[in-house]
Amino acid sequence: MTITYAQELEQCYAAASRRDEFYVQEDVIYFDGNSLGLLSKRAENSLLAILDSWKTHGIDGWMQGDRPWFNLSEELGASMAPLIGAQPEEVIVTGSTTSNLHQLLATFFKPSKDRTKILADELNFPTDIYAIQSQLKLHGLDPAEHLIRVKSKDGQTLQTEDIIEAMTDDVAIVILSGVLYRSGQVLDMKKVTEAAHARGTLVGFDLCHSIGSIPHSLDDWNVDFAFWCNYKHLNGGPGATGGIYVNRQHFGVSPGLAGWFGSAKDRQFDMEHTFTPAEGAGALQMGTPHLLSSAPLIGSLELMNEVGMEAIRDRSLALTGYLQELIETELADYGFVVTSPKSEVERGGHVFAVHKEAARICKALKANGVIPDYRTPNGIRLAPVALYNTFEEVLETVNILKCIMEEEQYKQFQNKREVVA
């Protein structure tokens, strides 16, 4: 546990580091990029450019200027496609995680006499469960009966075999996360998709914690659809516009929730009351795009594609692996237990450690200049992000944690979460 070793790791995995491109606060270690990524200078510039276009062109900004707004959602989708292994027309930047899941379920969940159930899991982020329950109710189905949740054997991870076993003949759609938001486990999306399709079941993935942190091959895996937010590892800013992927085999399916921005571009301003949908994923758009919430993605995606997901993933795995090792060797005696998978294949972009005093410890970390993420009831998420965090920061964080525990600094705080955890 030496600074020299941390510096050696930094040199080995320097290819993906773009720390100078981000606004990193002096004397602060920001390990919460899996909740909200830091602002990059490119994202700031692209937002200012859209504001300048509004200032300069007014309404004509839709078709004039360096970056006309009318096709921006499609252009951003094309820039995002390489990150998930998709074709440009299969991806659209629109909506939010929750609204996009509602749209996808409204489009693809068509319960029949024999297939009325949706399969999710008990570790899923609550908003996905709320949306699924709402959609079931809209079809007159009781969520208590028609929502199946795969059980976790350890309360932290899921077994692929358990997921497949839960795919009974009455399941119409499977909705799972690419990376579990607590433990950071990467699910075997390829195997899950193959198993679902063998049973005639559609499958969609929530990529909120996986896009920008791990490579994807959605087309090769033949995933039916996916949805995600863009403010975590993609650094799109608070409330950044989300994204939708629709496999091209489903092009032409009528959107469940139609809106005028889902129209074919050349027909949108005909103002006809007969809806003519766009051919690709763009058909699932509804209202006018949120330009100021999309603009930062222009710069952030440029940076992501410049670095490439392979280099980002290599550095991310080295950072999280180093953090896991340090916690297990230096902090185990203080009651910390890492529940994130050790396997690189299964480990996402953050490390999850449990401790009975987790809420207090997170507050003590903040008081010492480290920004973690608390998850009730006893979880600490630490996300060393490849683009802007360093191996020395990993080492320093563990040293700070050790000091917090030795000096019992955490005891000056209440062991309960703040309003926003």
Q: Which residues are annotated as a binding site for pyridoxal 5'-phosphate?
A: 97-98, 125-128, 206, 209, 231, 260, 288
d(CA 215, CA 308): 9
**From the candidates 30, 231, 352, 391, which is the catalytic residue?**
231
Q: Mapping DSSP to helix (H, G, I), strand (E, B) and coil, where does residue 417 land?
A: coil
Element (H or E) spanning 313, and its range?
A: helix 309-326
Contacts of 52 (CB under 8 A, 6+ apart): none
Candidates 289, 376, 381; CA nearest to 76 is 289
Please indicate whether residue 125 is annotated as part of the active site.
yes
d(CA 356, CA 336): 9
Q: Mapping DSSP to helix (H, G, I), strand (E, B) and coil, where does residue 398 land?
A: helix
**From the candidates 70, 108, 125, 251, which is the catalytic residue?**
125
> What one-character DSSP code corresponds to residue 67?
S
Contact in structure between 61 and 53 (CB atoms under 8 Å): yes
> What one-character DSSP code corresponds to residue 328?
I
d(CA 336, CA 256): 46
**From the candidates 13, 347, 381, 410, which is the catalytic residue?**
381
Please indicate whether residue 231 is annotated as part of the active site.
yes
Element (H or E) spanning 226, and its range?
A: strand 225-228
Element (H or E) spanning 392, and its range?
A: helix 391-406
Place of tokens 């990529």: 207
**From the candidates 182, 232, 315, 375, which is the catalytic residue?**
232
Burial annotation 66-103 (CB, 10 A radius, 16+ → b, else e) = ebebbbbbbbbbbbbbbbbbbbbbbbbbbbbbbbbbbb
Please indicate whether residue 70 is annotated as part of the active site.
no
d(CA 145, CA 190): 28
Please indicate whether residue 206 is annotated as part of the active site.
yes
Pairing of strands 171-177, 117-121: parallel
**From the candidates 206, 227, 352, 375, which is the catalytic residue?**
206
Candidates 150, 214, 204; CA nearest to 179 is 214
Residue numbers annotated as active site: 125, 206, 231-232, 381
